Amino acid sequence: MNRKYKVQIDIYSGSDKVMCDQFVTFPVTIGRSNECSVCLESFAQVSGCHAKINTISGRAYLVDQNSFNGTMFEGKKITKVMLVGEQFFFIGDLVLKTSTKELFSRRHKDGEPLDVYEKATDPIFNESELLSTNELNRAKRQKLGKK
């Protein structure tokens, strides 16, 4: 099965949020280089291409790119970690908060998309957490008094 993901990355330096962005196409590169998807050029502890988020065997992973200072997760230097739900990584003094959701698409018999669903990639998944984008948009329109 070819899984699709949406990964939001929030980066903090102390109490300041440095950046926030969402990605649905991979790989996503993180580093000081201007060629990186997430460019952190003003932070000396970040390598040119420090880490990469990519899909491997149908799962989303954060992979350290043999960076000089390393990428820390749960107090340990990591090479690769599967992204599940909300997680925190450290690059020097920077905190990377990742929020990962798996995207689903239902289709008509003719192959046309019906709607897109999101669910947290938490291994314990409750069907009631499944949200339809069309249903959410419909509810928003009703709340605003629009049809």
User: In CATH, what number is assigned to the domain containing residue 136?
Assistant: 2.60.200.20
Contacts of 63 (CB under 8 A, 6+ apart): 51, 52, 53, 54, 56, 79, 80
Q: What is the pTM of this model?
A: 0.71
Number of domains in the chain: 1
CA–CA separation, 22 and 14 (whole Å): 21
Dump pLDDT digits (tens) for 55-73. Answer: 988 889 999 999 999 999 9
Domain carrying residue 143: 1-147
Dump pLDDT digits (tens) for 83-105. Answer: 999 999 999 999 999 999 988 75
C-alpha distance from residue 94 to each of 32, 45, 49, 62, 75 (Å): 13, 9, 15, 15, 14
CA–CA separation, 69 and 51 (whole Å): 11
Residues in the chain predicted with pLDDT less than 50, given as ranges, are 119-133
One-letter amino acid of 38: V
CA–CA separation, 92 and 69 (whole Å): 7
